[in-house]
Amino acid sequence: MSAGSHITVFLSQCSEAQVPLRDELALVFERAGIKVLNDNDSSKLTENTKLDLSTANCSVHILFPEYEPVLQGGSGISLARYQFLEAQKQTKLNPNFRIFVWIPPSTNLNNIEPKQLDFINEVRNNIVGNMVFSNAGLPMQLADDLRSQMEINEVQEYSLRNTDIFLISNQLDELQSNEISEMLSDIVPVEKLNIIQDSDIDYSELCKQQVPKSKLAVIYFKNSGDWALPFAQQLWRNIGGATTHTPILLIGDTDPEENIGRKFIVPKVISLIIDGELIPLEIKVQYDKTVSPDA
Q: Exposed/middle/buried for 253, CB within 10 Å: 0-12, 13-18, 19+? A: buried
Omega before 247 within 30 of 0, i.e. cis: no
CA distance 245 to 233: 16
pLDDT in tens, 130-188: 888 887 888 999 998 898 888 754 467 888 999 999 999 999 999 999 999 999 999 99
What fold does the segment set 163-291 form as a domain? Rossmann fold (3.40.50)
Using DSSP, state whether 42 is helix, strand or coil: helix
Supply the pLDDT for residue 8. 93
Supply the pLDDT for residue 201. 87
Mean pLDDT of 125-134: 80
pLDDT in tens, 7-60: 899 999 888 888 899 999 999 999 988 999 876 555 567 778 888 998 899 999
Q: 163-291: same fold as 8-150?
A: yes
pLDDT in tens, 197-232: 878 888 988 999 999 999 999 999 999 999 999 899
CA distance 211 to 216: 8
The torsion region of residue 268 among left (phi > 0), alpha (psi -120 to 50) and beta comes to: left
CA distance 207 to 166: 9
Q: Exposed/middle/buried for 58, CB within 10 Å: 0-12, 13-18, 19+? A: buried
The DSSP secondary structure of 227-282, one letter per residue, reads HHHHHHHHHHHHTTGGG-SS-EEEEEES-SGGGTT----STTEEEEEE-GGGHHHH
On the question of pLDDT at 1 being above 60, the answer is no
Domain ranges of the chain: 8-150, 163-291
User: Do residues 290 and 216 lie in contact, with contact meaning Cβ atoms separated by under 8 Å?
Assistant: yes
CA distance 49 to 38: 10
Supply the pLDDT for residue 59. 95
Q: Apex CA 12: angle with CA 123 and CA 132, to 5°?
A: 45
Domain 8-150 listed as CATH 3.40.50.300 = no
Element (H, E) at 289: helix 279-291
pTM as predicted: 0.52
Supply the pLDDT for residue 104. 86
Using DSSP, state whether 84 is helix, strand or coil: helix
User: Do residues 287 and 187 lie in contact, with contact meaning Cβ atoms separated by under 8 Å?
Assistant: no
CA distance 266 to 269: 6
